[in-house]
Amino acid sequence: MSIELTVIPQSDAIDLASGKLYADACTHCGLCLESCPTYTLWGQEPDSPRGRIVQIEDAIATGGSVSAEMVSHIDSCLGCMACVSACPENVEYDELIMRARVAVRAQRELTVAQRLGRGLRSQTRARSGRVRALLGTRSVPRFAAAQGATRGRVGLLLGCTQRAAYPGIHMATLGVLAAEGYEVIAPTLPECCGALDFHDGDHVQGAARAQATIDAFAAVGGVDHVVVSAGACGAALKRYGRLLNSAQARAFSALVIDVHELLSSEPQRAPLGALSLRVAYHDACQLRHGQGVAEAPRELLRRIPGLRLLELSPEAGACCGGVGTYARTQPQAASSLGNRQAQAIIDTGAQVVVSGDHACLGQLSGALKDLNHPLPAHHPLELLWSSVQAGQA
């Protein structure tokens, strides 16, 4: 069976053929291989970044007709972007894989099971109001006043899953930002930033949610920054300019900053109390590789008196398997990656694991339980807020 890859009519920006520029930049040196989670799991060339690029090049060269086998290799890619960080030629694999996913989604013939699975993912994708009602979680305040001299006025993205299932991260973020002198506005809208849609290859729905996000923050009024505490959401917001290709979207993306970036850029103002903890730090892929934010969270954690920061072994790999909808679409691979990462955490002797994305926290918590070694899993801002509260006391 062959599948025709053609342009989605609504957007020339996602034409697979336009990805030739990105594919041609690859010299096939292989330095990406050991950074790729699926290659390190299976050792198969087609499931490596280099292998996927070759397949996409072949599809472009043959007019866009690809096999179902190639589609399976595209689907098995986590989109973790570890290969982007490892590439000496700065190949924009993220742009290439996005074009491939959008084109595949638009044209491939779906089996009944695939259609049902996609429908289920669409229905269960978190919507803050419904999930919050189900879980009984508390609402996140829409405003926090700056304490002391004001450093600026920022908007905070609440998003969907994190707002509903991990409100404590937002409460901690509001608390720390206010203690550091920021006035924080947290608009109720949007319900979703579109990051999951873009990851699934649904560019049309993702673009609609991206525009809704831009409009929601425009309605708030002038802010110095749009602050995000979820790695994947932040990576999506920073790419709105490229994804939507409008002056408004580019101006919005220029305002977006990860909360760790913002806080680490200024001297610590609030006194910090001691936390005597051994803490293992797990890099969220979309924070480290998607946004290039690696040192800032570590620097904030090192500020906390008594906290001992532990690094995972290189053998742990680049990803826990929790990115996007991967755990639902590729459950066996996600489980293997999660267990590998969980074992690396256990080996550090940590008492707590931290990560800058709620998807990673959920994935790691489940994997640690599977290995009969449950540990508390927290966002760095939650530990920083605990230290701020201890310092205030």
- The answer to whether residue 272 is domain-embedded is no
Within a domain: 269: no
DSSP string, 24-59: HT-----TTGGG-HHHHHH--GGGSHHHHHHHHHHH
Q: pLDDT tens, position by position, for the chain (393 residues)?
A: 233 333 333 343 346 666 666 778 888 899 999 999 999 999 999 999 999 998 888 877 777 666 677 888 989 999 999 999 999 999 999 888 888 887 677 655 444 445 544 544 444 444 444 444 444 446 899 999 999 999 999 999 999 999 999 999 999 999 999 999 999 999 999 999 999 998 888 888 999 999 999 999 999 989 999 999 999 999 999 999 999 999 999 999 999 999 999 999 999 999 999 999 999 999 999 999 999 999 999 999 999 999 999 999 887 777 999 988 888 889 999 999 999 999 999 999 999 999 999 999 999 999 999 999 999 999 999 999 999 999 998
119 within some domain = no
Summarize pLDDT for 104-158 with one digit per residue, the tens: 776 554 444 455 445 444 444 444 444 444 444 468 999 999 999 999 999 999 9
Whether residue 141 sits in one domain with residue 244: yes
Based on the domain organization, do 140 and 251 belong to the same domain? yes
What is the separation of C-alpha 25 from the centre of its chain, rounded to a whole number of angstroms? 25
Considering the domain architecture, whether residues 43 and 88 belong to the same structural domain is answered as yes
Confidence (pLDDT) at 393: 82
Contacts of 225 (CB under 8 A, 6+ apart): 152, 154, 155, 255, 256, 257, 262
Residue 113 lies in a domain: no
CA distances from 27 to 54, 61, 97 (A): 11, 17, 17
List of residues 6+ apart from 36 with CB closer than 8 A: 47, 48, 49, 82, 83, 318
CATH number (domain holding residue 183): 3.40.50
Residue 172 covered by a domain: yes
The reply to whether 317 falls in a domain is yes
Residue 285 and residue 258 in one domain: no
Q: Pick from 50, 72, 107: which residue ends a domain?
A: 107
DSSP line for 311-378: EPPGGG-S--S-STTHHHHSHHHHHHHHHHHHHHHHHHT-SEEEES-HHHHHHHHHHHHHTT----EE
Assess whether 286 and 360 both reside in one domain: yes
Instruction: Count the neighbouring beta carbons within 10 Å of the beta carbon of residue 133.
Output: 11
For position 138, what pLDDT does the model report? 60
For the chain, the distance separating the N- and C-terminal CA atoms, rounded to the nearest angstrom, is: 67
Statement to judge: residues 101 and 211 lie in one domain:
no
Same domain assignment for residues 164 and 233 = yes
CA distances to 72, 143, 164, 371, 381 from 137, in Å:
38, 18, 7, 28, 19
Domain count within the chain? 3
Residues 258 and 289 in one domain: no
**In the prediction, which pLDDT does 109 show?**
47
Both 136 and 73 in one domain: the answer is: no
132 shares its domain with 254: yes
CATH number at residue 294: 3.40.50.1860
Q: Which of 55, 75, 107 is the last residue of a domain?
A: 107
Backbone torsion region of residue 246, taken as left when φ is above 0, otherwise alpha when ψ lies between -120 and 50, otherwise beta? beta
Strands, sheet with 256-258, edge to edge from the N-terminal-most edge strand: 143-144, 182-185, 152-156, 225-228, 256-258
Give domain status of residue 204, yes or no. Answer: yes
Q: Of the candidates 118, 130, 258, 259, which has an alpha carbon nearest to the alpha carbon of residue 197? A: 118
In Å, how far are 82, 148, 271, 359 from 237, measured between CA atoms? 19, 30, 32, 17
Domain finish residue from 206, 236, 264:
264
146 and 260 share one domain:
yes
Report the CATH number that the domain containing residue 52 is assigned in CATH: 1.10.1060.10
Cβ neighbours of residue 78 closer than 8 Å, sequence gap 6 or more:
37, 38, 285, 319, 321, 323, 324, 326
Concatenate the DSSP letters of all residues of 61-97 into one string. HTTSEEEHHHHHHHHT-----HHHHH-TT---HHHHH
Domain region containing 36: 2-107
| Cα angle for residues 227, 230, 233 (degrees, 5° grid) | 85
Whether 282 and 380 map to the same domain: the answer is yes
Residue 332 domain-assigned (yes or no): yes
